A and B are shown apart, each in its own frame.
Chain A
Amino acid sequence: MDPTQPISRSIHVPIMTRVEGEGALLVRLEGDRVADVQLKIFEPPRFFEALLRGRAMDDVADITSRICGICPIAYQMTAVQALESIQGIDVPSGIRALRRLMYCAEWIESHVLHIHLLHAPDFFGCASVVELAKRFPEEVKRGLKLKQLGNRILEVIGGRAIHPINLAIGGFFRIPRREELAGLIPDLEQSLQHSIEAAHWLATLPFPNFEAPYQFVALSHPEHYAIEAGEIAISDGTRFGLDQYEQHFAEHQVAHSTALHARRQPMGTTYFVGPLARLNLNFDRLTPIAKRLAEEIGMVPPCFNPHRSILARAVETVFAFEEGLRILKQITEGNAFPRQPRINFEVREGEGWSATEAPRGLIYHRYRVDGEGKVEFAKIVPPTSQNQGQIETDLRQLLPSLMAMDDAQIANDCERLVRAYDPCISCSTHFLRVKIERG
C-alpha cells in the first residue's frame, strides 16, 4: 500500500432496514474526505401522475390513496382540496372538522408505528421491534394499542383503515352517525394519557449529539397547529401562499435514485420537512396538553437535532389525541354536526393546488381539469422527495466524525440518521424521465 495515497473506502448498505420502502445507501470515503453519498431509491417508479391523466376527478382520491398504505389520507385530502379549489368549493365547518379529525388519526397511526417499530429500536441497539419487545414489552404493547385506535378512527370516518374510501370532492360520501363518533371518546381519553406516558418514556432516550443549520419548512396557520390548511413558512422568516410553492421549490432528477430531489429556488439549497420542522415553526399553536408536555420533556424550539424527531412525533401524537378529542366533543355535543355529507357543485375547468402536512411532512398537489371534470395534468410532491437532499447533506456533515470507526459502525450510524427522518420511499417514487437512444 502506498502510504502517500489516501485510503479509499466504500460503505454500502444494500437494503435500508426499518424504513418505509426499498432503498439503499452508498458512501465513498477517500482518506479523510467524503467523496460521495448517495441515498438510492430503487423501488420502481409508479407513474401515478401519468395514471391520473384522463381520469374523472372523482377517481383521484381513490387512486392517490394507493400511493401509500401508511398515509393515504394525506394523499386523498391534498388531492380533494386541490380539486375543490378548482371547483370553487368551500366545505362547511363541520366537514372541515371531521376531515381534520381523520387526519389526526393518520398522524397517530403513522407516528406511533414509526416511533415504536422503526425508530425506538435504534436507541437500545436492537435490530428490530421483536428484540425491543423482549426488553420493553409493556411499552411496545402500549404503542400497538395506540396505533390500533388510530386505525379505528380511520375506519369510523373513512370507511376502512387501509385506503379509506369515504372522502369525496365537496365533503364525504357518508357522515358517520353521531353515536359512532361519540363511542370513540372514552378510548381517546384513555389513549391521550397513554401517549403522554409514551412521550415521557421516549424523553429518557440517549440522543446522539448531531445538529445542523436546517431550513425548516412547514405549513403554518394563524389559529391552529397546521395540518390541512395554512401558508408555507420557512424558518428564515419567509412566508408565502400555496400559489407560490413552485416558485420557491423545484424537483430535479439525480442519477442514483428513482425519486426526484426537491430544492429551494433559486439558491438550490436543501430543506427539512416533517414533525421537527412543524414543531419548530408552530410550537405556540400546539394544544395546551401537548405544549405543556413538550416543555416538560425539553422538546422546545429551536431544536436542530434530527434524532430528536422521535420526540417531535411523540408530542404530535399527544396533540393529535387532544385535538381529536376536542373535535369529537365539538361535533357530537354541540351543534357542529355536519348537516349533509357533501355539497353539490357544477363542474368547471381550471387549475388548482393544495398542500397539507402528511405525517412525514409537507405534501403538495397541483391539478388541471377540463370542462368535463377529467384530469389533464397532475403534479404530486411527497415529503420524502423534499427531505432526500437534506438527508444526503446531513450524512456528508456526519461522516467526518465517523472516520475512525469500522465500516459496520459507520453504516449503522448513517442508517440511524436516515431513519430519524422516517423516509417513506414508497411514496417518493413517482416519476422518472426515461430517455431511449437508438443507434
Chain B
Amino acid sequence: MSTGNALRSAVMVVGIGSHHGDDAVGWRVIAILRDMLETSESSGRYELLTVRSPIELMGALERAEVLHVVDACRGTEPGRIHRWLWPSPELDESRVLGTHDWNLVRALALGAELAWMPGRIVVWGIEASAFEPMSETSGAVESSIRQVAIRIEGELKGSNSQA
C-alpha cells in the first residue's frame, strides 16, 4: 500500500470545525480564503478543505507538501491567534479541542508515526470560548477569523514567489 509520498504536490489549507459556535472558526477561515483565492491567478495551486474531525486530516497529511491547519483552541483570551510550526513544544493536547477522544495533536502524532507527514505543517489556533449548539461564532473571534485568512493568504503567496 502506497504511503503516497510520490504523489505529494498539493499546498493544502484545512479548516477543522463544526456548526457549534466558535468551533466553526476553521470553517469560516476556509470560506474567506475561498473568496480571496477565487480571483487569484494561482488559485488552482491550493486545495481548501473543511473537515469536522481531525481524523479526516489523514488524507491531507498523506497528499500535501505544505499543510496549513486552522482550528479553535483553548486559552484565556478569546480571539487570540496562535501560529505553531509542527512539531512545537507549545502545541500539546492541553491546547487543542477535541471530541470522540480525538484531537489535532493526536492526528498529527499518528501521521508522524505512519510517516505520512508533509514537509511543512503550520497550525493556526484561534482561542475560542462559546460552543452553543448550532449557534454563530462569538464576537470575540470574528476579527481573528479574517486576520488568520489574510495571514495564510500572505504565506501562500509568499511561498509562490519563492518558488
**Interface set of A (CB-CB < 8 Å, partner B):** 16-22, 44, 46-47, 51, 66, 69-70, 113, 117-118, 128-130, 133-134, 137-138, 140-142, 144-145, 147-148, 151, 161-163, 194, 426
Cα A426 to Cα B19 with chains together (Å):
14
Cα A172 to Cα B56 with chains together (Å):
25
Q: A142 contacts which of B1, B19, B102, B109 (Cβ < 8 Å)?
A: B1
Which residue from chain B places its CB closest to the CB of A15 in the assembled complex? B101
Q: Contact residue range for chain B?
A: 20 to 34
Chain B residues with CB below 8 A from A46, complex form = 133
Which residue from chain A places its CB closest to the CB of B59 in the assembled complex? A148
Q: A162 contacts which of B56, B58, B100, B101 (Cβ < 8 Å)?
A: B56
- The A interface is mostly helix, strand or loop, or mixed, namely helix
Chain B residues with CB below 8 A from A134, complex form = 113
Cα A137 to Cα B116 with chains together (Å):
11
Q: Cβ of B113 and Cβ of A426 under 8 Å apart?
A: no
Cα A69 to Cα B56 with chains together (Å):
11
Q: B113 contacts which of A19, A137, A142, A151 (Cβ < 8 Å)?
A: A137
Query: Can you list, as one digit per residue, whether each of B95-125 has a CB less than 8 Å from chain A (1) or not (0)?
Result: 0000111100010011001110000000000
Q: A69-B52, A113-B55 are in contact. Are A426 and B99 (CB under 8 A)?
A: yes
Chain A residues with CB below 8 A from B19, complex form = 66
Cα A194 to Cα B2 with chains together (Å):
13
Name 28 interchain pairs, CB-CB below 8 A, sorted by A.
A18-B101, A20-B100, A21-B99, A22-B99, A44-B133, A47-B133, A66-B133, A66-B134, A69-B18, A113-B55, A117-B102, A118-B101, A129-B110, A130-B106, A130-B113, A134-B113, A137-B113, A141-B114, A142-B1, A144-B114, A145-B1, A147-B55, A151-B56, A151-B59, A162-B50, A162-B51, A162-B56, A194-B1
Cα A20 to Cα B52 with chains together (Å):
14
Chain A residues with CB below 8 A from B53, complex form = 69, 162
Chain A residues with CB below 8 A from B110, complex form = 129-130, 133, 140
Q: A69-B18, A130-B106, A162-B51 are in contact. Are A17 and B114 (CB under 8 A)?
A: no
Known A-B contacts: A17-B101, A137-B114. Give 6 more (CB < 8 A). Answer: A19-B100, A66-B19, A66-B133, A128-B106, A137-B115, A141-B114
Which residue from chain B places its CB closest to the CB of A144 in the assembled complex? B58
Q: Cβ of A141 and Cβ of B1 under 8 Å apart?
A: yes
